[in-house]
Amino acid sequence: MNKKCGYIALLGRPNAGKSTFLNAFLGTKLAVVSNKPQTTRNKILGVYTEGDNQALLLDTPGIHKSHGLPKMNQVMNKVAWSVLGDADFVCYLIDVTQGWSEEDANWIEGILKKYNKKALLLATKTDKVKMEEVEQGMINIAEGFQALSEKIASNDEIKCQFIGDIPQAISSKRPEEIAKLRHFILDQLPQADWLYAEDDLTDRPQKFVCAEIIREQIFRQLGQELPYKIAVIIELFEHKKNVTDISATIVVDRDSHKGIVIGKNGSRIKSLGTDARISLERHLERKVFLELFVKVKLGWTENSNMLLEFASLQEPDDVK
């Protein structure tokens, strides 16, 4: 048997570029992206099949300090950590323009101690700044990583091996770099039967991906705070002959948010609807008729049942 198949976990702080990397690796847009941190709320599986290889990439919510934040944030972190249990290989991403941080040190310490397979450190967004700045960022990340490794080596057992021990520079905007890295990662996969069909892209239902596409517009169009308190539920999803009818409810956390989402004379929700429809049509490759509604559900980000119902978020009970 020559077939290879394995899970590759994408981990890192919010905004590190995990979802953009996933999409670039897959060569198609699956995960939603925005310039706001904590855009991804749940793990998303992206399936990439080439030749004998099947890579199962797990995009995750950016790991962040959740103390004092709603229960949703704590569950997001747990979901991110939980993918280590499945992973055959880990990519830890750091935005080269931000460099090494205390938080990276915490999370990588956890990976070094808890995870016993191979990992790769990626310095992302290298196209965004000048070469000298990239080099500085790379040195900063390498130094942070080395200091951490030395600190742990003296009193703890390191179970995980980071390949090369220095970050690999990568831009998700440069397909040739992604292609090279993709082959390197495919080489790391263990021999195993494929778990998905050759043309599968994800295990998430189409409705989930469409709800995410609408949520992406909310992240892009609504101020700094509001998107974190909003969920999207698809109430109706029906493929007709020439059009797909989609009806979605935007769930907000309090009454005052409802008015902001709707906007003056409905202007905000109209603009959200137009841009979401265009994105949905691109994704589904067919015409879409989209209706949006707004509903208030007080405190939904604090409530386990509502987190599951509105954001498909379930607290994993087996986080190491």
Residue 66 labelled as part of a binding site:
no
In contact, 12 and 93? CB cutoff 8 Å: yes
Single out the residue of 114, 118, 173, 283 in contact with ligand GTP (rule: CB under 6 A): 173
Q: Which of residues 87-116 bind ligand GTP (CB under 6 A)?
A: none
Which residue in the block uniquely carries the two structure tokens 């409802």?
A: 258
Is 16 among the residues that bind ligand GTP (CB under 6 A)?
yes
Residue 94 labelled as part of a binding site:
no
Angle formed by the axes of helices 131-155 and 102-114, nearest 10°: 50
Instruction: Choose the one of ligand GTP, Mg ion, none that binds residue 20, judging by a C-beta under 5 to 8 angstroms depending on kind.
Output: ligand GTP
C-alpha to C-alpha distance for 275 and 279, rounded to whole angstroms: 6
Instruction: Choose the one of Mg ion, ligand GTP, none that binds residue 124, judging by a C-beta under 5 to 8 angstroms depending on kind.
Output: ligand GTP
In contact, 90 and 84? CB cutoff 8 Å: yes
Among the candidate windows 18-26, 199-207, 260-268, 273-281, which touches ligand GTP by CB under 6 A?
Answer: 18-26
C-alpha to C-alpha distance for 192 and 311, rounded to whole angstroms: 32
Residue 190 labelled as part of a binding site:
no
Contacts for 2 with CB less than 8 Å, ≥ 6 apart: 52, 191
Q: CB 14 → ligand GTP: shortest distance, Å?
A: 4
Tokens standing for residue 68? 């004092």
Which residue in the block uniquely carries the two structure tokens 């938080």?
A: 103
Single out the residue of 4, 18, 43, 182 in contact with ligand GTP (rule: CB under 6 A): 18
Residue 124 labelled as part of a binding site:
yes
Contacts for 66 with CB less than 8 Å, ≥ 6 apart: 73, 74, 76, 77
Is 19 among the residues that bind ligand GTP (CB under 6 A)?
yes
Q: Which of residues 43-62 bind ligand GTP (CB under 6 A)?
A: 61-62
Residue 59 labelled as part of a binding site:
yes
Is 127 among the residues that bind ligand GTP (CB under 6 A)?
yes
Is 38 among the residues that bind ligand GTP (CB under 6 A)?
yes
In contact, 258 and 252? CB cutoff 8 Å: yes
Q: CB 124 → ligand GTP: shortest distance, Å?
A: 5
C-alpha to C-alpha distance for 225 and 207, rounded to whole angstroms: 25
**Positions at the binding site for GTP:** 12-19, 59-63, 124-127
What is the binding site for ligand GTP (CB under 6 A)? 12, 14-20, 33-35, 37-40, 61-62, 124-125, 127-128, 171-173
